[in-house]
Amino acid sequence: MGNPLQEQLLKAGLASKKQVKKAEHEKRISRKQNHGNNPVAVSNQAREEQAAKESRNRELNLQRAEETRLRELKAQVKQLIETNRLPQDGRGEPYHFVEQNKIKRIFVSEETTDQLSRGQLAIVKLGPGYEVVPAKVACQIASRDREVVVVFHEKP
């Protein structure tokens, strides 16, 4: 027989020779049916599954790369604003501007107001607040993320 479990069951009287032969017969039949499948069809199916998996992985990698690129751009914009922002004058006059159909204001000096209107300075959004930066920096920021630049009177 070769199967120690079957031999033990026979010795203990829990199984008969007829039951052991029937189990072996079913085992052989199931093996033949599994091997009877077309190996070419199985390998084609495996190839298709592998191709689908690779396609999903490619899409996920592209998505992750895009998310990483966007995070890097946001970090660059934040760094540009923080290194080039001009000090705000809390005692200055209010400069009113529109953002998303709402009127906002920041307090700046008269000289800064004049430079904002001539396009030498721009107002950008940093977190919940606003900062004033030079026009050259505003152009760099706009090339990375246009939505951050709130007020910029560019020269034609």
Burial 5-19, CB ≥16 within 10 A → b, else e: ebeebbeeeebeeee
Highest mean pLDDT, choosing among 5-19, 40-54, 130-144: 130-144
Could you state, in order of their start, the residue ranges of all structural domains in the chain? 4-36, 81-151
In the prediction, which pLDDT does 89 show?
74
The residue behind tokens 């490619």 is 58
Residues 6+ apart with CB under 8 A from 103: 96, 97
To the question of pTM greater than 0.85 for the whole model, the response is no
Comparing 20-34, 95-109, 140-154, the range with the smallest average pLDDT is 20-34
Helix extents (H) in 1-156: 4-12, 17-36, 39-84, 110-118, 135-144
Alpha-carbon distances, residue 25 vs 16, 20, 34, 41, 66 (angstroms): 14, 9, 14, 27, 58
Give yes or no for residue 71 having a pLDDT over 90: yes
Task: Give 74's pLDDT tier (boundaries 50, 70, 90).
Answer: very high
Reported as a single tens digit per residue, the pLDDT across 25-64 is 888 888 777 665 566 666 888 889 999 999 999 999 999 9
Burial class, 147, CB count within 10 angstroms (exposed 0-12 / middle 13-18 / buried 19+) = exposed
> In terms of Cα–Cα distance, which of 112, 148, 143, 111 is closest to 130?
148
Mean of pLDDT over the chain: 86
Comparing 13-22, 54-63, 119-128, the range with the smallest average pLDDT is 13-22
